[in-house]
Amino acid sequence: MAVAQETFQELRQALLADLDPEVAALLGRELERQRGQIELIASENFTWPSVLEGQASVPTNKYAEGYPGRRYYGGCEVVDEIEQLAIDRAKALFDAEHANVQPHAGAQTNMAVYFSCLQPGDTILAMRLDHGGHLTHGLKVNFSGRLYDIATYGVDRETNLIDFDEVARVAHERRPKLIVCGGSAYSRAIEADRFREIADEVGALLLCDMAHFAGLVAAGLLPNPTPHCDFVTSTTHKTLAGPRSGFILCREEHALAVDKAVFPGMQGGPLEHTIAAKATCFKIAASAGFRAYQTQVRANADALADSLVDGGLDLLTGGTDTHLVQVDLRRGDWTGKDAEERLHEVKITANRNTVPFDERPPTVASGLRLGTPAVTMRGFQEQDLHEVGSVICEALADDADLGPLAQRSRALCERNPLYPGFRGYATYAA
């Protein structure tokens, strides 16, 4: 095999496929895996080719500790403009007073907000993880649960909607310094205005973690939490469809503390190539095309919900306001884990999830969390989601014949090709 890595000169010129066929083959296989299955993991998406280009770009070579105009390194004149563009676009998109686009991912956004306004031992009030929160909202083994005193609220046992009486009661009892709303597995709109009222009653700061639904907010399909919150955090790679990363929005009065918490508080050099890709993601998210995409994400989530209910499955809250649908398997024999594995056999990728008041451990769980951002990105429409829903329901039947079901999934994928222009594992690979 001609592997061009014998000399320094060869190393400087070699592209991946020649230099490292092993990794190149794995990347190619991952592209084929993504193309060949129905991706229903609600937190995943297929980003834009333009974003992939930004992420594979040369600012990866640049150190830029600090902020635009205030760096600890020379040569930052261009990355300053990249980062300022990302900041300005994020602020405009969500109507925010301040934006920090340096957090490497969603977890870092929440860590930075906590560091900016809390001392270890301070109380945070957040949604219980098994009711739809996130591990950075106070899981015991996460930094959040180790550093802070965590008070929790959940959903109502009957409606599965956030129990605002409980939020208010616990807030008055525990007097949190920070209230967190938003989560990873809640299929209804987050009413930040109602959380604001409770936060004001007890003198707490308010954070909305819109990691999951930021894309729907950007498109105007869910209410923007920013006017009601001291802080808003988000990923960029879920509904927002950008690079794997995060950003923080906040009121001007918290700007300095948030910036200091991110750097030098918890991160070193920012990933300016990813920040370039975030700038592109924000530009796209402000467009009419993006609004059309998100409108289809919503329509597809409703179509999926309808077809699952028609097929006899239970959904938490009966449906969705967002991109995600939560199947409650408690009435039948399936566990979340077994259902996840069965769907894998028919070329559908999903993840098990606890349902509120679940009696099974999270590794087994009694629910499935399904989302439509990724399939919508590859072109699925309502009739396709009806077909997906019927494949799911038939796959979970006792006498399921899996071969023909996998074939129906494959046919859907073939009708809606992912990254049809890509020749290799990257946008412009030979």
Ligand X SMILES: *Cc1c(COP(=O)(O)O)cnc(C)c1O
Catalytic residues, by residue number, are 63, 65, 209, 235, 238, 244
Judged by CB under 6 A, does residue 235 bind ligand X?
A: yes
> Which window, 49-57, 176-184, 355-363, 367-375, contacts ligand X (CB under 6 A)?
176-184
Nearer to ligand X, 365 or 396 (CB): 365
Taking the complex as a whole, how short is the minimal distance between the CB of residue 351 and ligand X, in angstroms? 12
Judged by CB under 6 A, does residue 196 bind ligand X?
A: no
Question: Which residues 115-134 are close enough to bind ligand X by CB under 6 A?
Answer: 134
Alpha-carbon distance values, 378 to 34, 84, 238, 339 (Å):
11, 31, 15, 24
Taking the complex as a whole, how short is the minimal distance between the CB of residue 204 and ligand X, in angstroms? 19
Taking the complex as a whole, how short is the minimal distance between the CB of residue 155 and ligand X, in angstroms? 15
Taking the complex as a whole, how short is the minimal distance between the CB of residue 420 and ligand X, in angstroms? 28
Taking the complex as a whole, how short is the minimal distance between the CB of residue 117 and ligand X, in angstroms? 17
Q: Which member of 102, 184, 372, 416 binds ligand X (CB under 6 A)?
A: 184
Question: Which residues 49-108 are close enough to bind ligand X by CB under 6 A?
Answer: 105-107
**Which residue, judged by CB position, is nearest to ligand X in the bound state?**
106
Nearer to ligand X, 117 or 211 (CB): 211
Nearer to ligand X, 107 or 271 (CB): 107
Nearer to ligand X, 209 or 328 (CB): 209
Nearer to ligand X, 107 or 170 (CB): 107
Q: Which member of 209, 321, 328, 340 binds ligand X (CB under 6 A)?
A: 209
Nearer to ligand X, 115 or 334 (CB): 115
Question: Which residues 135-164 are close enough to bind ligand X by CB under 6 A?
Answer: 136
Taking the complex as a whole, how short is the minimal distance between the CB of residue 210 and ligand X, in angstroms? 8
HEC per residue, the chain: CCCCCCCHHHHHHCCHHHHCHHHHHHHHHHHHHHHCCEECCCCCCCCCHHHHHHHCCHHHHCCCCEECCEECCCCCHHHHHHHHHHHHHHHHHHCCCEEECCCCCHHHHHHHHHHHHCCCCCEEEEECHHHCCCHHHCCCCCHHHHHCEEEEECECCCCCCECHHHHHHHHHHHCCCEEEECCCCCCCCCCHHHHHHHHHHHCCEEEEECCCCHHHHHCCCCCCCHHHCCEEEEECCCCCCCCCCEEEEECHHHHHHHHHHHHHHHCCCCCHHHHHHHHHHHHHHCCHHHHHHHHHHHHHHHHHHHHHHHCCCEEHHHCCCCCEEEEECCCCCCCHHHHHHHHHHCCEECEEECCCCCCCCCCCCCEEEEECHHHHHCCCCHHHHHHHHHHHHHHCCCCCCHHHHHHHHHHHHHHCCCCCCCCCCCCCCC
Q: Which member of 182, 225, 270, 373 binds ligand X (CB under 6 A)?
A: 182
Number of residues in contact with ligand X under rule CB under 6 A: 14
Q: Which member of 129, 178, 211, 374 binds ligand X (CB under 6 A)?
A: 211
Judged by CB under 6 A, does residue 242 bind ligand X?
A: no
Contact residues for ligand X, defined by CB under 6 A: 43, 105-107, 134, 136, 182-184, 209, 211-212, 235, 246
